[in-house]
Amino acid sequence: MDEPALIHAAQHGDLTAFNRLVLAYQDIAYNVAYRIVGDPDSASDATQDAFISAFKHLSSFRGGSFKAWLLRIVTNTCYDELRRRKRRPTTPLEPLNDAEEEIESPVWLKDPGETPEERAERADLHYAIQDCLNGLSEDFRTVVVLVDIQGMDYEEAATVTHKPLGTIKSRLARARDKLRECLQSFRELLPNSFRLEEQVSL
Amino acid sequence: MTQMISPQEQEMLSAYLDNALTPRERQRLETQLQARPELRAALEELRQTRQLLRAAPALRAPRNFTLTPEMAGLRTRPPRVYPAFQWAFALAMVLFVAVLGGEAFFGSPAAMPAADVALVPQAESFTLEEAPVEQAPMEALESSPPYIPPNTRNTGETPREEETAPGIAESGPALEQTPTPGEFIVAAEPPTPTLEPTFKSAPTEPVEDPLPVAEEPMTTTMMSEPSADQGGGDGDTLYDTAAPAPQTNFWASPWRIPQAILAIILVLSGIGLLVFRRKTML
């Protein structure tokens, strides 16, 4: 994929070229959105809105990392979604299935390729992480999602959040410390491999 | 144990895990880590937390988020000629209705020629009655068996024949004396009897003489049905105009041309509007 050519074509209104960029980045965008907003439906809405906004404001992209530019739009759209949710808290605590029954957590349905034990273990981990992420403030959550879940470096995270590197450092440290405290309560749910690794490392 | 860790030290530990410290900061932190077990424990817990976060499964998009033209706000705008088609359609419609209304209100000038043509047979019948001698050969030719089909086909008016019956009766002897079949044969035998000699001979011969008069229409009718004739010019023009009268009257009306032009403009502009509308909807 010739990303600069696609971006250039999309900037001139080529929707097909832009949609190729969408297909290339939609997993990352949705992953970030899901980690920030915390539920799949809102994450889907935020991701879709973010791509729409990205296409409409593509002329403001002046080069550099398209991924960082796009994820900035995604995070801003997620903030809008969170604010909208605060104004109208109609979303149930747990999503409903087709029979209008509460699903304890949709994340339990992820990774079907794993064994039931591995799946349960990873689901525990997934649930624990997401629950702890939801307890963070938006700014801290975004930084830790970008750096620790998406694997960005500080510069990229600073580009996405439009914050200086020092802010990224401090926010990341605070977020990790809070997550550490939060995950203490899920320690019995954490996989043995992490505990063993902890023992070995100690 | 970790309560003794300051926020600055926590930030240093976090950056240390990401290799985001300067060499000097890194060396100073490593020195402290060797000296302070609580700092090592805090670093290890932070490393575990970071590992857990990085081990979180990457979610895949539940669906494609590609944009449709509507979502992207790319509703194809109609071309600049679209308003021109709209105006053309509207104007043509108004004018078309006006022309139709004008024709209905003021009447079609074509009605006059149509009426004239309609009256021609009657006038002709009068001329036939008034001058039976001149028209007798023509009527005789029409009434003669070999020529009935073409001439009656042209006229197609049975009443006229009824009207001309007295004329024929008046000139009955002359007609009966004319050997019509013989004349027909004689006139048909010359392979190419041109019209010129006939025209030349026609005026010189007396009108009362039925024989030469009878030859002239025979030759003309043999050569070509509707073309020029000499004595019975009125009768031939009647035959020529009477057959195609309905179509000629319809298109001869001066209202037809603007109506046709406006109808074409209406159709073309309507098609253009539909095409552009379809493109716009897409």
CA angle A184, A189, A190 (to 5 degrees): 75
Q: Are B11 and B39 in contact (CB under 8 A)?
A: no
B-contacting residues of A 58-97, CB under 8 Å?
Answer: none
A80-102 pLDDT per residue, tens: 999 988 887 665 556 666 666 66
Residues 6+ apart with CB under 8 A from A69: A54, A61, A159
**What pLDDT, on a 0 to 100 scale, did the predictor assign at position A184?**
82
- Max Cα-Cα span within chain A: 57
Amino acid at A192: N
Q: Can you tell me the distance from the alpha carbon of B282 to that of B274, in angstroms, rounded to the nearest whole number?
A: 12
Q: What's residue B124's pLDDT?
A: 46
**Angle CA B146–B147–B153, to nearest 5:** 130
Q: Do A154 and B65 touch (CB under 8 A)?
A: no
Residues of B with CB under 8 A from a CB of A: 7, 10-11, 13-15, 18, 20, 41, 44-67, 69, 71-74
Residue of B nearest to A131 (CA): B53
Residue B164, phi then psi, degrees to nearest 5 = -80, -5
Inter-chain contact B18–A26, Cβ cutoff 8 Å? Answer: no
Token pair of A119, please?
Answer: 């799946």
Q: Which two tokens stand for residue A30?
A: 């949705």
CA dist list (Å): A39 to A84, A85, A190, A201, B282: 14, 12, 22, 35, 34
User: Residue B13: its chain A contacts at CB < 8 A?
Assistant: 173
Measured CA angle at A37 (ends A34, A40), to 5 deg: 45
Residue with tokens 């209905």: B104
Residue with the bigger pLDDT between A194 and B148: it is A194
What proportion of chain B, given as a percentage, has pLDDT over 90? Answer: 18
Q: Which residues of B touch A129 (CB under 8 A)?
A: 52-53, 56
pLDDT tens-digit profile of A19-52?
999 999 999 999 999 999 998 999 999 999 999 9
The Cβ-side half-sphere exposure at A170, using a 13 Å CA radius, reads: 8
CA distance A91 to B54: 28
Residue B216 in contact with residue B198, Cβ under 8 Å? yes
Q: How far is A44 from chain B (nearest CA, A)?
A: 8
User: DSSP label at B206?
Assistant: -
Confidence band for B103, pLDDT divided at 50, 70 and 90: confident
Q: Is the pLDDT score of B102 beyond 80?
A: yes
From chain A, the residues in CB contact with B14 under 8 A are 169, 172-173, 176-177
- CA B83 from chain centre, in angstroms, equals 22
Which tokens hold the place of B268? 């073309």
Q: Which tokens is A144 given?
A: 């830790």
Q: Answer whether B190's CB lies under 8 Å from B226's CB.
A: no
| Nearest of A3, A6, A33 to residue A18 by alpha carbon | A6
Contact state of B61 with A170 under an 8 Å Cβ cutoff? no
CA distances from A53 to A50, B107, B186 (A): 5, 65, 99
pLDDT of residue A114: 57
Grade residue A193 by pLDDT with cuts at 50, 70 and 90. Answer: low
**First vs last Cα of chain A: how many Å apart?**
45
A99 phi, psi to nearest 5 deg = -90, 15
Amino acid residing at A135: G
pLDDT classification of B253: cutoffs 50, 70, 90: confident
pLDDT tens, residue by residue, A99-119:
666 666 555 555 555 566 655
Contacts of A189 (CB under 8 A, 6+ apart): A124, A125, A127, A128
Contact (CB<8Å) A180/B45: yes
Is pLDDT at B122 greater than 50 in this prediction?
no
What is the model's pTM? 0.53
Contact B18 A147 (CB under 8 A): yes
For chain B, what percent of residues have pLDDT higher than 70?
A: 44
The tens digit of pLDDT for each residue in B38-89 reads 999 999 989 989 988 988 888 899 999 999 988 888 766 666 777 888 888 8
Condensed to tens digits (0 to 9), the pLDDT of residues B163-196 reads 444 444 444 444 444 444 444 444 444 444 444 4
Which residue reads 């050519």 in tokens? A5
Which residue in the block uniquely carries the two structure tokens 């509007």? Answer: B273
Provide the β-strand partners of residue A96.
Answer: A102
Of B18, B49, B65, Cβ closest to residue A179: B49
Contacts of B47 in chain A (CB under 8 A): 201
Cα–Cα dist A136/A144, whole Å: 10
* HSE of B99, CA atoms in CB hemisphere, 13 A: 17
| Mean local confidence (pLDDT), B267-271 | 89
d(CA B41, nearest CA chain A) in Å: 8
CB within 8 Å: A172 and B52: no
Q: Mind giving me the DSSP string for B5-52?
A: --HHHHHHHHHHHTT-S-HHHHHHHHHHHHH-HHHHHHHHHHHHHHHH
User: What number is the ipTM of this complex?
Assistant: 0.76
**Range with lowest mean pLDDT among A154-168, B195-209, B246-260, B268-282:** B195-209
Give the number of A-B residue pairs with CB atoms closer than 8 Å.
121
Chain B CB within 8 Å of residue A127 CB = no
